[in-house]
Structure 1
Amino acid sequence: MTERLITHLRHVDLAVPDFDKQLGFYSGTWGLRTEHTDSGLAYLAAEGSPEQYIVRLRQSADKRIDLISFGTATAADVDTLAGQLAADGVQLIGEPDTLQTPGGGYGFRFFDNEGRTVEISSDVEARQHRTIEEGESIPVRLSHVVLNSADPEGTVAFYEKHLAFALSDTLMHPRMGNMMWFMRTNAWHHSMAVARGPHPSLHHASFEMRGIDEYMRGTGRLLRAGVEKIWGPGRHMAGNNTFSYFLDPHGNTVEYTTELEVLDEDTWHPHLYDFTNPEVSDQWGTANAMNEFVAQRSFNDPDKGLFVAPPV
């Protein structure tokens, strides 16, 4: 078993054609703070997070996931992972080096099995942040990222083998088989999940709120603003977290959540949940039904960035 050196999820970077509209949504309606900008680039932080940014937006002709970033504890861990990946034949985009992004640090990038760009980094300067106050309906941190995969079994195996992600739970359907795998890098139930889909793409990015009241206030705030809600509000069984899914201006699904389960990793055993049981999707029974329409919106457009490293 590979030693787990990944400590946490840092940020998700998205490229979009209409940069201004996307930036207005995330920095205004969604509740993130624009911390750094450059020509056609914006780095957005969560007020409650020490991460320099949790979303990066980049102007591009193509809609794509630019990269997903994970942290390690030390530069030595970065070097160890880079060496192990290279030895296993994984394509590195570059050798570990000083990062040229806000907060600096030390890291490298590589392509996963389906061609997504992944960044591993350490020693990024912590951002001055604050405690989110009662009633504030803005994200505290980036909770997790869910990926659509045309080869989900292969993708799960890749992250288990190379980055020591652990399986927390699996969702299955009696006719379609296993459909979603929840994977963790620390005691949070999942930092990433892999969903069976028609093509590689972003399924959704999820943002943690302070608590139930702030989560519901945020859900209501987006509804009043006319943002299209896909699914929710409700509470999943896997992870025991709340959910409200919306579409950003480019059709990416984004989620407000809270109370994601923290596991005792020494005693945890993964469950296999049948999501035809309504309580598996939503324990509360308050969300709209998970139907074909909802599922298709989460498929997203095919990612145009596979095996193409972002320019920044």
Structure 2
Amino acid sequence: MSSHRGTHNDLHSEQGALPAEHPGRARNPVIKVLDLAWLEFAKPDLVASERFAQAFGFTTVSRTADELQLRGTDAGAPCVIVRRGPRSRYVGAAFRAAETTDLVRLAGATGTNVEMLPESLGGLTVDLSDPSGVMVRVVADTHELATLPSQPTQVLNFGHDVRRANATQRPPHEPAKIQRLGHVVLQTPRYVETLNWYLEHLGLIVSDFKYFEGQRDRGPTMSFIRCDRGSTPTDHHTLAMMLGPSNRYVHSAYQVGDLDALAAGGEHLRELGFYRSWGIGRHIEGSQIFDYWRDPDGLLVEHFADGDLFDCTLEPGWSPMTASGLAQWGPPATKDFLGLAPGRDALHELVSMARSLHDDNEFDLTRLRGLLKVTNS
């Protein structure tokens, strides 16, 4: 076990930072966002998108010929906004500002403007692009959707600690009701530059760093990043970012009530013919119980339950990046989840690898070797 200053053994990583390694937070960020508000996607078929979304556990807020808004049971803004487009793609994320004045401060620091959002959402936004070119919105004063009835969680017996007697356990095969948006995971060939942008502009802080085996001296290649809400615990990661040969959406994750909701909801999806990419298992970074599915357009989405919550006092953990290190228990990570299954996406990533080696970015031949080692680990 490491004795380096700033470690927090037995919490989420075996060791903390070495001297002069990335601190995982900005000294004086422009603002500190509170949470993710929603994610935006483009899809060619909104009817098929809504059909999967409802089977996955979303509730439809509204659907027009050109836009679909989806929500969870928690109060707040929609979790997901899907607009009609020629191809399926991730567009960007909206983060929730702590107060409206933060938008003015952010706009001034970035040379942008505070704009009105569409009436269907209400409120204000500052629209930016991160160094990878991905859209980032910071929003405030949006319409507040009321809380919906939640899915009952199960009463559990823990060994000899009996909490349920003369009653059976029968979770129905039905959609696992989404409670809220949890996080989004992105890949970029400009990893450190993009990471620093989020820390400096939005006040996010790193919970865990990952590095390629044998390349720790070259710095991290993945980070799990949370909001800084001071003494209020928040999700282990709201955003995760990894170094790779292309700018790519990896997956997004949505909280459900408990393991039974997740597992029975998965049976419901399987019975409808949808494709499970990987699961069920429990992660290491974040500790979530997870289950990954492909939507009709091939985008990866996750049900999760029982995730870690950290306040601002914990410093980043550091650990090597391996495929086998993605879960504490569960089936091995699949080729589909790792992006290695034969198909269009894998071919696109191979082409991106070849191109990125000739571009001005952080993904060089040494990093490629490290990534290939991860996929075989």
TM-score tier after normalising by the smaller chain length:
0.7 to 0.9
The equivalent residue for 1:17 is 44
- The yes-or-no answer on 1:183 pairing with 2:225 is yes
- Pairing of 1:237-252 with structure 2 (within 5 A): 237-252=284-299
Post-superposition Cα deviations, 1:225-263, rounded to whole Å, max 9, x if no partner, equal: 221111111111111111111111111100000112111
Contact 2:225 2:238 in 1 (8 A): yes
* Letter of the 1:10 counterpart: A
Alpha-carbon spacing, 1:24–1:277, altered in 2? closer, same or farther (3 Å): closer
Picking from 66, 79, 88, the partner of 2:104 is 79
**What is the aligned-residue identity percentage?**
23
The equivalent residue for 2:151 is 133
Distance (Å, rounded) in 2 between the aligned partners of 1:45 and 1:251: 21
Distance (Å, rounded) in 2 between the aligned partners of 1:297 and 1:33: 32
Picking from 127, 133, 151, the partner of 1:115 is 133
Contact 1:218 1:256 in 2 (8 A): no
Task: Give the 3-state SS of the residue equivalent to 1:283 in structure 2.
Answer: strand
More strand by share: 1
Structure whose alpha-carbon radius of gyration is higher:
2
Task: Give the 3-state SS of the residue equivalent to 2:194 in structure 1.
Answer: helix
- The yes-or-no answer on 1:148 pairing with 2:148 is no
The equivalent residue for 1:202 is 249
The equivalent residue for 1:281 is 326
The equivalent residue for 2:82 is 57
* Letter of the 2:188 counterpart: S
Contact 2:121 2:142 in 1 (8 A): yes
Distance (Å, rounded) in 2 between the aligned partners of 1:96 and 1:264: 30
The equivalent residue for 2:61 is 35
Task: Give the 3-state SS of the residue equivalent to 2:82 in structure 1.
Answer: strand
Q: How far apart are residue 115 of structure 1 and its match?
A: 0.9
Task: Give the 3-state SS of the residue equivalent to 2:77 in structure 1.
Answer: coil
TM-score, with normalisation over the residues of structure 1? 0.85
Distance (Å, rounded) in 2 between the aligned partners of 1:132 and 1:251: 28
Following superposition, which runs of at least 4 residues in structure 1 exceed 4 angstroms of deviation?
A: 297-302
Contact 1:52 1:102 in 2 (8 A): no
Contact 1:189 1:261 in 2 (8 A): yes
Structure 2: state its 5+ residue gaps.
1-27, 154-174, 229-233, 350-377
Distance (Å, rounded) in 2 between the aligned partners of 1:54 and 1:297: 29
The equivalent residue for 2:338 is 295
* Letter of the 2:147 counterpart: H
- Pairing of 1:223-238 with structure 2 (within 5 A): 223-238=270-285
The equivalent residue for 1:69 is 94
Contact 2:277 2:334 in 1 (8 A): no
Distance (Å, rounded) in 2 between the aligned partners of 1:115 and 1:277: 28
- Pairing of 1:86-105 with structure 2 (within 5 A): 86=111, 92=112, 95-105=113-123
- The yes-or-no answer on 1:215 pairing with 2:262 is yes
The equivalent residue for 1:89 is none
Alpha-carbon spacing, 1:179–1:233, altered in 2? closer, same or farther (3 Å): farther
Alpha-carbon spacing, 1:176–1:101, altered in 2? closer, same or farther (3 Å): farther
Distance (Å, rounded) in 1 between the aligned partners of 2:78 and 2:300: 19
* Letter of the 1:120 counterpart: V
The equivalent residue for 1:45 is 71
What is the aligned residue count? 289
Task: Give the 3-state SS of the residue equivalent to 1:6 in structure 2.
Answer: coil
Distance (Å, rounded) in 2 between the aligned partners of 1:22 and 1:103: 20
* Letter of the 2:36 counterpart: L
Contact 1:23 1:57 in 2 (8 A): no
TM-score, with normalisation over the residues of structure 2? 0.71
* Letter of the 2:91 counterpart: D
Task: Give the 3-state SS of the residue equivalent to 2:206 in structure 1.
Answer: strand
Contact 1:164 1:185 in 2 (8 A): yes
Q: How far apart are residue 199 of structure 1 and its match?
A: 1.1
Q: CA RMSD in A?
A: 2.2
Alpha-carbon spacing, 1:231–1:101, altered in 2? closer, same or farther (3 Å): farther
Q: How far apart are residue 108 of structure 1 and its match?
A: 2.0
Distance (Å, rounded) in 1 between the aligned partners of 2:144 and 2:100: 15
Distance (Å, rounded) in 2 between the aligned partners of 1:235 and 1:101: 40
